Structure formats: C-alpha cells, structure tokens
Structure 1
Amino acid sequence: MDPLDRAQVLLLCDLCQKAPLQDHCELCQINLCKACVGEHLSDSSQRHKVVPYKHRTSTPNYPKCPNHTQKHCELYCEKCDIPVCSTCISLGKHHGHEFKDILQKPSFMKEFFTTDLEELEKRILPTYEEISSDLYSEKVKLEKNYEKLTSAVTKQGEDWHREINIIVNKQKSEIDEMKTKKLAALNKQEKEIKQITSEVKQSILDLKKILVSNDISLTSGYRSRNAEFRSLLPKVNVSLPSYSPHQINTDQLHQMFGSLSALSITTEEHGYTMKTPEAVSCPPVKPLLDEPELITTIDTRYKLSLYSVTCLNDAEIWTCGLDKIMKLYNLQGKLLKSIQTKSGDTPQDIAVTRSGDLVYTDSKTRTVNIVKNKKIQEVIRLEGWIPINVCSTSSGDLLVTMVSDDDNEQSKVVRYSGSTEKQTIQFASEGKPLYSSGNFTKYISENRNLNICVADFKASAVVVVNQAGTPRFKYTGHPSTKKGSFGPVGITTDSQSQILTADCDNNCIHILDQDGQFLRYIGNCGLKLPRGLCEDATDNLFVTELNSGKVKKIKYM
C-alpha cells in the first residue's frame, strides 16, 4: 500500500440524508439509518429484508410484472419471449409453455447482445458515417459545379448587349431553382441519415449499458433494431447539368444564348452497400534481444519515492513521486517543466493523452485532472470511490482503476470519454470480483488489440480482459517464481501487443505475449525496486526505480 493517508467519506442514509447508514434493505436496494428503518418497514405494500449494511448481499433486481403490479417476474416464458410472474402462470395463459429462471436470460442473451453490438460498431455505424461523408462531398461538388455554371452564364451575358439581360437573368433564376431542388433532395437524405446514425449510436450505448448492468428489466426489455438498420435508404442520384454557350446571333437570341440540361433527381435502390470491417494490419515482427541494453539513466532527483513515468514524446518524459510536483525531463536529465497539483497533495498516477496533455489522479480530492496550457482542469470527480491509476487509450478515452470508500472493499476499472462514464469492469461472468480489494496500486494499460491489462499488486497477478470487459487470462508469475513472491506494479504494452510488468519483489521486468505466455525477464540492467513503466513510439522501455529517483531507458527489441 502506498504510504498515503486516505480520508474516509461518511456514507449517509438514503432516506433522511443526515444520519450515518447502518442497515440495508436487500429487496428495495436502499441504505438506512437506525431511525429510518421503522419508517421503511411501515410500507406494507412491499416486501422487505433489512440486514446490517456490512452483511448485505447482491439481491437480483427482478422486474415488476406489468399485469400484476404487486408481483415480480422471476421466470421467463420461452414461447412468448416475455418475463412472467407466478400469477401469470396460475391463470393458465401460458399453459404448456416452457419456463426458465429469468436470471439465466442475461447469460444466454449476452452473446446475442455482443453480436449486435459488434455489428453496430463495426459495420452499421461506419456505413452511415461513410454515407454522411459522401453526401457532404456531393454537396461540395454540387456547389463547385454550380459556381462554374453561374460564372459561365455571367461571362456570356457580359459579352452580349443590354437587350439580352432579360434572358441572362432568366437562366440564372433557372439555375438557382435547380440548385435549390437538388440541395433540398440531398439535405433531406442527409437529415434522414443523421437521424438513423443517432439511433444507431443510442442502440450502441443501450447495449453497452446492458452488458455491464445486472438490471434484468433492461435485458428483458431489449429489442434488436439491427435488421431495421441494415435496410439502407435508396441513394439519391443528382445529375450535374452543363452549359453550352452559342455564338451571338441577335436574330435568334432566345434560341442561341445557350441552354441548361434538364434537372434530374433519381433514387437508386441499392446504391449504398454495408461496410465490411477492415482487417487490422499487424506491425512488423520485432524479435527480443538476447540481452536487453541499458541506453541511459535519468536522475530525477526525487528525494521521496518515484512512482510513475509516461512519455510525452521520444525525447521527453513526465514523472511523479511522493510529493506534489510533476516534472518533465529530457533524456539528458534536464528539468524542462514542473506542475504542482491543484490540491497540493501527491498525484497518485499520471498519463499523457493522444493530444499531448498531462492527466493525473488525485486520491485526496477523488478527481482525475488534465493539464492544458499549464492550467489544471478537473475532468472527473468521484463519489464513493477513490481513483488510483490511469491510462489514455488509442481512442482517446481514459481508463481509471479505483477502490470504494467502504474500507476499500471493492475495486473496478471505469472507462471515461471526457467526463462521461462509458463502461465499468468489475466482475467476472460468475459474479466474482476481477480485482483484489484494498487501496493498493493497480497500474493499467491498453494493448494494441484493445485488451485492458491491470497489474494487481495485492493479488500478485496481471489481470487481462478484452474490450468488452470479458476476462481473457490472469498471469501470476513464471512457474519458477516462488509462490506469493510476484509483485507486479507498473505495466505497459508495446507495438507487438506484448505486456511488460515491473516485479518489485524480484527486481526485474516480466515480458508476456498478448495471450499471457511468459517470454523472458529483463533483469540484467541493475534494476532496484522497479515501479512505473512506459514505452516510447519506437518500443524503448522506461522504468522508474522507487527509492533511487532514477528512470532507466532500456532497449529490449
């Protein structure tokens, strides 16, 4: 555990919001103080089960029956594809039908939800976004074409005398009318495409919410719209007219001035095709060196523990340790910039975003902050949770590991887009916690294959889940490592999707492949209590030493 004092937040009763909570109603999912327990139990319209807060268990949130409001649906009718209560069954409406425990539904529906989500994200949404882009290009092309038409007509009119001005103005008016009609047709389809795109994005958000939620009412109420979204709109084809000027003949002005081709707007039923996901290209294979090389050592002159390091670019690194200052160094050890935390407390961890901004977690204020132009902005403020470690993903999201305020009994990983929570990763499919309890370091990194890798120090394990939060594997050290002596702290990944974690118990770095198979150690570079890790764009490894205040740059590929 880091030597930092953790202030505890007093949890209050959900009813009065004044007194400390002591009890919990498992059926109503509400926290109560002693004074409010009696008031809660006086509501005889509901069943109650009040237990001490520390002894609470997770109670299924059965959906209420729409036909019998006092009942909860604990079964699921296979034939009717709806949740049912005991009264529904006793009335005989489902005679001869097969039933399942409704708690089984999420498990057998998860694959369906995942398939829908994958198609929405990788095929349907990209298709509509591509159509929107094409429509915009069509509008730009249309604008340019009509600019040329207007210029041609204007030039022809300047060559003629006053008596043909009426014809010039008339044909300009025809052009504007045609342009308006064609733009109207394109704008109409663009509006329809944007509406469908918005609905696709909402379906994606709904499915992600279902996948991380235990709320049965959400899963039972889900209806797929993928088939609807697959039916693409007919494509609007807008032909571009041309202008054909004639030689000036005053006797035949109307006939010879020139004419515009007829306006043509048609629709093509199968003009659009659904996008096929592109295969991700693999980076060139880089073999591991027989002997990793120590390239340089940077003395940060931290007097207290040196925690984390993150690359701003190939020539500059940010560092933080057990003080309130975050420091930027070049590879020659020159201090380039210093930033003090807004709270004056120690930053728990740091990361650099895709745009080059520094992000840090502050456990005292329970915030995640970003530094832009030397100004600190609060991005995320947590309630009931303490942020620990953070990383920036390839998509620009932030992944934050955190522990709960209630004696740090729970841990989880949360994905944020800006200040918006997008995903929570906390439990395996059988409901067991993925990560250990306690306010211990849980450094985090995203792999090239979008797996999420956490170095869980207390659990002596590296825990890896896929992008959806489904467990992939857990690495607990090489077989030759003595049981319990594997101490993973810092973690990073490279261009080969290899996972590197610092083992502070054995003064080395473990290198794993993307499937968790041990490849080799880095232990020949004089490492002492290695802690934070990061990689630059060319797969050079940077390692902080906890007590020496030094950062070592190592070449291992």
Structure 2
Amino acid sequence: MHPWRSAQEVLLCDLCETVPLQSRCEVCNINLCVNCVGKHLSDSSKQHHVMPYLQRKSTPNYPRCPKHVEKHCELHCENCDIPVCIKCVSSGKHEGHKLSEFLEKLSAKTKNLPKDLEELETRIYPRYEEMASNIQTEKADIETNYGKLTTAAEQEGEILHREITAIVNQRKSVIQKMKNKHLSTLNKNTKEITQKMAELKQIISDLKSILKSNDVSLTSTYKSRNSEFRTLPSKVRVTFPSFTPQKINKDQLNEMFGSLSPLSINTEHGDTMKSAEAVSSRPVKPLLDEPRLTATIDTGYRELYSVSCLSEDQVWTSGDNETMKLLNLQSKLLTSIQTKSGKPPQDIAVTRDGDLVYTDTSNNTVNLIKNKKIRTVITLQGWRPRYVCCTAANDLLVTMVSDDGKQSKVVRYSGSTEKQSIQFDDQGRPLYSYNVFINNYKYLSENMNLDICVADWSASAVVVVNQSGKLRFRYTGHPSNTEQSFDPYGITTDSQSHILTADHYNNRIHILDQDGQFLRYIHCDLDRPSGLCVDIRDNLFVAEYHTAKVKKIQYL
C-alpha cells in the first residue's frame, strides 16, 4: 500500500509521510502538510504553486518540458517518441513530424499496462524463477559431482599404487633370486678351493715328514703333484646386476593416470521468448477425424529403422545396412551415402542447414555429412550414441547408453562441444531406463516449446523434460488401455506442439498435446511403425520396420 494510504484512506504528506496532507503544489505534483509547506517553498529553484488540496486542479498534470521549464508538454511527437510543448513545436525541430495529444498517447499506453503486467507475472517472471531454481539445483550438485571426480582420482591413484607396489615386489623377488644364485655359485667355488687347500696342507705335511726321517723308502715312493696344483681352480667371476631406472615421462604418466576433461563454461545468449500475441497468432490446425495416407515410399531395405525429412517430397532413410538413402515420393533413389565404418547407422537426422547427421555405435561416433563428405564431429569414450535430433537452435541432442549398459542420458552438443547433460531428476533418480540385456531404443525430438521428448521403449514411457532438463511428465499410454502394452519407438513433434510417438507392436501412432494429454490414435494400416518425422507442412512420415516402406500421412 502507498505510504500515504491507510485502511481508512487517510492521506498523508508526501514529504514527512506522518501528518495528514492539507495542500498540494501543482508545479511539483506533491502533497504537503502544514509543517512541510514552508520547507517546500524555501526551494527557490522553481516557481511553486501551492493551494489547498481540496481546491487542486482537476485538469491533467502534464509533464514539464525539459527544454522550456515554464511550459507543459501537451503533445507527443510520434517520430521522436518524446513529449513536447508548444514552444518545441514552434521552434521548427519537429516540422513535418506526426504529433498527437499527450493524453491520447498516455491513454494508449495505459491500456497496454495490464497486458504487460499479465505477461510479466504469468510468462516472463516464472521463466526467470525457473532459471534461478535450475542454477540453485546445479549449485547443489557441485559438491556431489566434484566429490565423485575426487573419489575417482583417488581410486585411480590407489590402483596405480597397487600396480606399482606389485611391480616393486616382483623386482625385489627377482633380485633375491639373483642374490641366492650368486651366493650359491660362490659357495660352490669356495668349497672346491677349500678341498684343494686341504689336499695341499696334507702334501706339505707329508713332504716335511719325509725330509725329517731320511727314510729312503718314503723318498723313493714320493710322486710330485706340484704340476697338478699349479693349475689353479676355476675362478668364478660374477657381475653384479644393476638397476637402471626409467626416466619418468610426466606426460605419459598423466595419460596413464587418466584424463580429466576441461571445465567448459559457455555463456549462451538468452532465448527470446515470443510475446503472447505472437504465440496466440500461430495458425491453429485441428486434427482430422480420419487421417489420410497420401503416399507410400518403397525404400528397398529388408528392415527400416529411421526416416528424416529433407523437404515435403524428399526423405532420408536408414535401415539394416551401411547405406543411407535419399528418396522422393515416387521411391526414386536421389542420393546414397555409406557410413565410414561400413556398419549400419543407429539413427539419422537432418540439420536446419539440410545436412545429414548419423550415429554409429560400432565406433561410438556422431558424424555430419556435408556435400557428400563425412566428418566425425563427436567421439565418445565409455558411452554409445543411440538416437539423434537437431534442435531449433541447430544444436544436436543425442541419447546414449554407457558401455556397461547401466546408465542412460541425453546430451546436447553445439558442434563438438558438450553443452548440457540430462540424466537425473531433482531427487537424483535416473530419468531414463537402462537394461543390459535388451536394446535401448530411445528416439527423441525437441518440441516447439523447447521440451525434450524421449520415447523410452524399455520403460514403456515417453519422458518429457523442459529445456533445462527438469522432468515435466511421463506418458505411459492411454489410461483406459490396460490390456495392451505401450511400446514407444519413434517420436516427433509438429507446429502445434503435438507429440507423436509410434506404438510399435500395437501398429498405431499416439498423438499427445504438449502437456502429455492423449488426443487421438493414427492407424492407417501401419505395420510395426518405427522412426517418425514431420515436414514443414505437418505431414507425418512413418518408417515401417518389416515392410521397409515409408508412409506419408495427413492428420491435420
């Protein structure tokens, strides 16, 4: 409530804000009490006009002209978009300009104020709140995520320590064996020499006895062995082994330890929200009561996986071999490209520039084809790319599964740079299913409201998160259908923000609104629908897995 209003509507002085007002200065557009009138009149920079509040003028209080302070601005110059007074107009500076009554301009602006207020309160401010909330969530995750990095580094260090300790122990064991062998050799040599020395001592003693006794018989039987002992025993020469330490290459050691990707901080230009008028002015296309099949394309594959529109009458297709085909509505082959690896692509998408993107699980890459030349833009480590789509901002969204099959996530790339990773909800639970033993089909699409929609087949659900990665809803099939399982394969969105997903084994398409409410089925005699896409006129193209045909369907 304004300071000079109370529950009883007692009007207070604008200066002291405590005493009821009695007067008003028409020049300064300010309400005054008795005590503040004198203080206000002491400001001699203006020619004040103070009168009793009840006798205040009922005529509009036009703003003072900044150039001619004695005049009020009763007109508005449309060309300059500023209020002007009579002297401004007569000066000639606004000659030929369109002038309007200031009050008319004010009235027009006043009419727009409620609209601006409603948009600020209901559309713009909530987006800022959401962004602020997402930042707080990210900040809350900092300790956890960086703690995981620190733990991983420590664990890697422990592994290396164990490996180094094992190597050291192995070297010590080899050294001990060498030492033992060295000692054994020397002991054997010592034993041989000791035996010879004992024999020599005995011979020396015998000779001395002969010389002392003068016994002829002893002398006659003596045989000299000096020549035998002149040949000394074999001398064992052992060279001590040496340890030559390998010069430590810090770069190799760092590489051996594992790499740490750099901290990437990218400031993205804020998205410009469309005004409420622009959103509401989008042409409304009601759903047809009976969707119509308008064309059938024979692709020539044994099994067809994906389809992506290049134009209203040209589609890229991929199936069970390494060739991606561009076909027209008459099934004519216009262009074909083979994958780098020679293996079938997992999925394909067309960029806003008309280039083709494909994922390859055989070498964990995402590749861009431009002018028939293939360039690898993303190479993954520890993850396998699955499905891909191109966003309104020309980013790439890729669903991927970890090599061990125990994690799934959606990653946003700008070129080769990772911008966003979406894996867990606000409670830290996985958003997407994972299963080691079955195929992780996870086609995806970006909606007009920038939601990211994933057809999570193994979870039997369509998982929709907003642009920031916050879970909006899960759709698990029509609530009334309890007998048939929901098998979402392909997924796409249209200009009406509808979400269309292929219910593979039930041979139909589910149409949802942007909030996950079921609207209608499309049947059209579909046979195992897989990949989906829509063209700029909202025609639906459906890839049939077994027939390897693409069906073009009008449903709006």
Q: Which amino acid aligns with 1:285?
A: V
For residue 267 of structure 2, the aligned residue among 168, 184, 204 is 204
Does 2:477 align with 1:414? no
**CA spacing shift, 1:286–1:353, aligned 2, 3 Å:** same
Question: What residue is the counterpart of 1:11 in the other structure?
Answer: none
CA distance in 2 between counterparts of 1:529 and 1:377 reads 33
Question: What residue is the counterpart of 1:292 in the other structure?
Answer: 291
Question: What residue is the counterpart of 2:479 in the other structure?
Answer: 479
Shift of residue 305, structure 1, vs aligned partner = 1.3
Shift of residue 483, structure 1, vs aligned partner = 6.1
Question: What residue is the counterpart of 2:510 in the other structure?
Answer: 510
Q: Which amino acid aligns with 1:353?
A: T
Residues 103-182 of structure 1: matches in 2 within 5 Å?
A: none
Say whether the 8 Å CA contact 1:403–1:412 is kept in structure 2: yes
Question: What residue is the counterpart of 1:28 in the other structure?
Answer: 151
Q: Which amino acid aligns with 1:343?
A: S
Question: What residue is the counterpart of 2:488 in the other structure?
Answer: 488
Q: Which amino acid aligns with 1:294?
A: L
Alignment RMSD: 2.7
Shift of residue 481, structure 1, vs aligned partner = 2.4
Does 2:541 align with 1:545? no
For residue 328 of structure 1, the aligned residue among 326, 331, 336 is 326
Shift of residue 513, structure 1, vs aligned partner = 0.1
Question: What residue is the counterpart of 2:275 in the other structure?
Answer: 279
Q: Secondary structure of 2:297's partner? A: strand
Residues 198-347 of structure 1: matches in 2 within 5 Å?
A: 204=267, 278-279=274-275, 281-282=278-279, 283-302=282-301, 304-347=302-345
CA distance in 2 between counterparts of 1:418 and 1:277 reads 24
CA distance in 1 between counterparts of 2:273 and 2:474 reads 30
CA distance in 2 between counterparts of 1:368 and 1:391 reads 11
CA distance in 2 between counterparts of 1:390 and 1:276 reads 25
CA distance in 1 between counterparts of 2:371 and 2:272 reads 41
**CA spacing shift, 1:312–1:203, aligned 2, 3 Å:** closer
**CA spacing shift, 1:35–1:413, aligned 2, 3 Å:** closer
Q: Which amino acid aligns with 1:538?
A: R
Does 2:520 align with 1:520? yes
Shift of residue 36, structure 1, vs aligned partner = 3.7
Question: What residue is the counterpart of 1:434 in the other structure?
Answer: 431
**CA spacing shift, 1:347–1:277, aligned 2, 3 Å:** closer
Question: What residue is the counterpart of 1:264 in the other structure?
Answer: none
% identical equivalent positions: 62
Question: What residue is the counterpart of 1:424 in the other structure?
Answer: 421
Question: What residue is the counterpart of 1:536 in the other structure?
Answer: 535
CA distance in 1 between counterparts of 2:441 and 2:343 reads 17
**CA spacing shift, 1:34–1:373, aligned 2, 3 Å:** same
Question: What residue is the counterpart of 2:349 in the other structure?
Answer: 351
Q: Which amino acid aligns with 1:488?
A: P
Shift of residue 37, structure 1, vs aligned partner = 6.0
Question: What residue is the counterpart of 1:555 in the other structure?
Answer: 554
Q: Which amino acid aligns with 2:536?
A: A
CA distance in 1 between counterparts of 2:543 and 2:317 reads 9
**CA spacing shift, 1:482–1:203, aligned 2, 3 Å:** same
CA distance in 1 between counterparts of 2:489 and 2:425 reads 22
Give the greater-gyration-radius structure (CA).
2
Shift of residue 440, structure 1, vs aligned partner = 1.1
Shift of residue 518, structure 1, vs aligned partner = 0.2
Render the CA deviation track for 1:197-241: whole Å, top value 9, x for unaligned. Answer: xxxx96736x99xxxxxxxxxxxxxxxxxxxxxxxxxxxxxxxxx
Render the CA deviation track for 1:224-261: whole Å, top value 9, x for unaligned. Answer: xxxxxxxxxxxxxxxxxxxxxxxxxxxxxxxxxxxxxx
Q: Secondary structure of 1:28's partner? A: helix
Does 2:377 align with 1:379? yes
Shift of residue 34, structure 1, vs aligned partner = 8.4
Q: Which amino acid aligns with 2:313?
A: A
Say whether the 8 Å CA contact 1:460–1:484 is kept in structure 2: no
Shift of residue 360, structure 1, vs aligned partner = 0.3
CA distance in 2 between counterparts of 1:298 and 1:277 reads 39
Does 2:465 align with 1:469? no
Render the CA deviation track for 1:40-83: whole Å, top value 9, x for unaligned. Answer: 99xxxxxxxxxxxxxxxxxxxxxxxxxxxxxxxxxxxxxxxxxx
Q: Secondary structure of 2:409's partner? A: strand
Shift of residue 413, structure 1, vs aligned partner = 0.3
Q: Secondary structure of 2:267's partner? A: helix
Shift of residue 480, structure 1, vs aligned partner = 2.6
**CA spacing shift, 1:34–1:448, aligned 2, 3 Å:** same
Shift of residue 279, structure 1, vs aligned partner = 1.4
Question: What residue is the counterpart of 1:403 in the other structure?
Answer: 401
CA distance in 2 between counterparts of 1:521 and 1:276 reads 34
CA distance in 2 between counterparts of 1:203 and 1:459 reads 33
Q: Secondary structure of 1:323's partner? A: coil
Aligned residues: 306
CA distance in 1 between counterparts of 2:496 and 2:370 reads 31
Shift of residue 28, structure 1, vs aligned partner = 2.3
Q: Secondary structure of 1:505's partner? A: helix
Question: What residue is the counterpart of 1:61 in the other structure?
Answer: none
Q: Which amino acid aligns with 2:305?
A: Y
Question: What residue is the counterpart of 1:266 in the other structure?
Answer: none
List alignment gaps of at least 5 residues for structure 2.
Answer: 1-146, 166-263
TM-score normalised over the length of structure 2: 0.52
Shift of residue 38, structure 1, vs aligned partner = 4.5
Q: Which amino acid aligns with 2:505?
A: D
TM-score normalised over the length of structure 1: 0.52
Shift of residue 426, structure 1, vs aligned partner = 0.4
Question: What residue is the counterpart of 1:390 in the other structure?
Answer: 388
